[in-house]
Amino acid sequence: MEKITTETHLKEIKVLLSELNKKLDSLLEEKDTCALMLWRRNLDFLEKEPDTYSFKGIKAQGNCRHSVVP
């Protein structure tokens, strides 16, 4: 009789572990979705910002830093 009870408990534990794994997978997927949404929102914000420097301006500024003024 005890063996049946132990086997029954093990089956119940396996079912509960399976349900728990499904819930964890769902939470991880939700977390990833939220992270992607926040990342996208941050990119949208940056796209609306004006460019501070042009490539030409950055190159000229970089050259000025390394040049020696007599």
AA letter at 30: E
Ordered by start, the domain boundaries in the chain are 2-66
> What are the angstrom distances between the C-alpha of 41 and each of 27, 37, 44, 66?
21, 6, 5, 38
Q: What is the pLDDT of residue 16?
A: 97
How far is the C-alpha of 26 from the C-alpha of 13, rounded, in Å? 20
State pLDDT tens for residues 30-45. 999 999 888 888 777 7
Q: Whole-structure pTM over 0.75, yes or no? A: no
